[in-house]
Structures are given as structure tokens and as C-alpha cells.
Amino acid sequence: MKKVIVLTGPTGVGKTNISIALCKRFNGEIINADASQIYRHLNIGTAKITNEEMQEVKHHLLDIVEPHEPFSIKDYQIIGRKLIAEIDLPFIVGGSGLYIQALITDYNLDTKPRSENQYPELSNEELHQLLVSLDPDAASKIHPNNRRRVLRYLEIANERGKVEANPPHPIYDALVLCFIRNRTSLYERINLRCEEMFQNGWIEECIELRKNGVNLHQLKDIGYRLIGEYLDGNLSYKEMVEKIKQEQRHYAKRQMTWFRNKMNCTFIDLDETSIDEIITLIESFLKS
């Protein structure tokens, strides 16, 4: 099996810096595993690496579609796997757990494209009842209020019968490192980095996006919608910044839950681990 290295962790831990150091050391190339950084023009707000920061290290799957263009995890899976085949030593770097899973396991996505807005006339409860009749196991796993997921499960039930109950199997020999820090330290970093984003011109980026016809309110990526609110005068600057920091912290927390419970990974506390220790780890993985 092909060897790949995955570097993941919650937003703000410091994946980017380390990934560059490691890629230079091992002559690797980076495949982005961050759902938001796929999009062009969303730079500052997604903490996308700059050209200078790349230091000649090759990056893939960054800036490949326009913000309004459709891009699915299925597309990601196809392109990503092709890249893995082409690159000698791929470093998959990013915090989108599901994307990583789709990339490095046999995660089944080969059905027809998603349909939209089914059953608008049904209530959450009715929808859930419908799912109970089609796939009771799946229904028991999901709360009726989670309409979006209930709809998706209904879709799966209609297309291929049942939601897959077993976890997917790896298709590569992957070393999965999840960088962490203690909560306080992580939250401080997130707050600080958020301030930096504004100093670096996040607002200007948003104004520019608007000029080019992007509807900030339609972007799912953290911050853009709130900056839209601020630009519309519905939110004070301070409120907006605080709220964005908070959403970033909440996101980091959700990521941690995923890594802990959905991913088979080695946790590395960056507050207590040197880069040399990480290098040693990778060296022994590559030799094995």
C-alpha cells in the first residue's frame, strides 16, 4: 500500500507551519484537506497559506473552484486520489475530518449526485417517521431536528437501501497525526489569529468579494456571513469580531470530537512536542 502522511488537528493549532517544515525535510508535497480552502478568493478568512509561506513546497487542491461553484466531497475524493497516485510522498494537510476520511478510506460515495430540497411540506417529525419506515437503524441514529441529515438519510435509503453501518477501511498505508494543544492554549491562539486576520485585511477581502458578485450571506465558511452583517450595519465591529472568534472556537471543539471518535490517529500535543520528535516519528513510519 502506498504510504501517505496525514497532518490534521483543530483550526489554529499550527498545522500549516509544521507541514512546511516537514515537507521540506522529507521532500513531500501537500494535498489540502480543508474544505474551505478549496475555494479561490477566500484567503484571509480561511487562513490559507500564502505563496511566500509555501517556500517552494508544492500545494494541491487549493484555489480550485470559485466560491459559488459547486464542489462536492466526491470531486475531492476523485481528484485527491489521483494526486496521491502521482505524488511520491503526499502530505494530506487540513482539518476537515470527513474529507480526509473520504480520501484515505473506501468511503462509499459512488451514487448519483445529491438532489435538493425534497419533501418541503413535511415537518421534521414526519420526515423522521418516513425514515423510520425505510431504514429504522439509520433513523435511530439521527435526531428528528437534524433535518438536513434526515433528508440525506432518506436519500440514501431511496438510492441504495441502507446507510452504511460499518466504518470504512483504509486504502493507503497512512500515518495520521492529529496535532492538539490544551484547550486554553488553543483558544488563545484562535483568538489571536482571528485578530491577525482582521489586521491582514479580512474585511477588505470581503468587500472585494462583494464587488465581484459574491453573496457573503450565502457563504458557509466561518466569518464571512458575520462580516456581511457588519458591512450592512447590523452588527458592531466588536460584536462581529467576538462572534467570529467564538464560532472558530466552537468549530475547533467539533473537530476535536471528530478526531477523537471518528479517526484512528496519533495525537501530538504541540505544546509539549518538538519538531524533531515528529520527524523521528515520520522517519520510522517511512522505514517500516
Partner RNA sequence: GGUGGGGUAGCGAAGUGGCUAAACGCGGUGGACUGUAAAUCCACUCUCUCCGAGUUCGACAGUUCGAAUCUGUCCCCAACCA
Smallest distance from the beta carbon of 134 to RNA, in angstroms?
A: 14
Q: How far apart are CA 40 and CA 63, in angstroms?
A: 4
Q: How far apart are CA 265 and CA 78, in angstroms?
A: 23
Name residues contacting RNA, limited to 119-178 (CB under 7 A). 141-143, 145-149, 152-153, 155-156, 163-164, 166-168
Q: How far apart are CA 42 and CA 44, in angstroms?
A: 6
Name residues contacting RNA, limited to 64-123 (CB under 7 A). 72-75, 95-99, 107-114
The residues pairing with 175 across neighbouring beta strands, listed in sequence order, are 5
CB nearer RNA, residue 4 or residue 222: 222
Smallest distance from the beta carbon of 26 to RNA, in angstroms?
A: 24
Give helix 237-262 / helix 224-231 axis angle, nearest 10°: 170
CB nearer RNA, residue 109 or residue 275: 109
Number of chain residues interacting with RNA (CB under 7 A) = 63
CB nearer RNA, residue 237 or residue 277: 237
**Options 212, 254, 275, 277; binder of RNA; rule CB under 7 A:** 254
What sign does the dihedral 236-239-242-243 (CA atoms) show? negative
259: exposed, middle or buried (C-beta count within 10 Å: 0-12, 13-18, 19+)?
Answer: buried
Lookup: cell for 258:
471528530
Smallest distance from the beta carbon of 35 to RNA, in angstroms?
A: 3
Smallest distance from the beta carbon of 66 to RNA, in angstroms?
A: 14
The residues pairing with 3 across neighbouring beta strands, listed in sequence order, are 173
Q: How far apart are CA 206 and CA 42, in angstroms?
A: 8
Under the binding rule (CB under 7 A), the answer on residue 216 touching RNA is: no
Stretch of 49-57, 61-69, 241-249, 280-288 lying at the interface with RNA (CB under 7 A):
241-249
AA letter at 270? L
Per-residue contact flags (x/-) with RNA for residues 22 to 41, judged by CB under 7 A: ------------xxxx----
Which residue in the block uniquely carries the three cell numbers 480520501? 103
Given the rule CB under 7 A, which residues bind RNA? 11, 34-37, 45-48, 72-75, 95-99, 107-114, 141-143, 145-149, 152-153, 155-156, 163-164, 166-168, 183, 187, 220-223, 246-247, 249-251, 253-258, 260-262
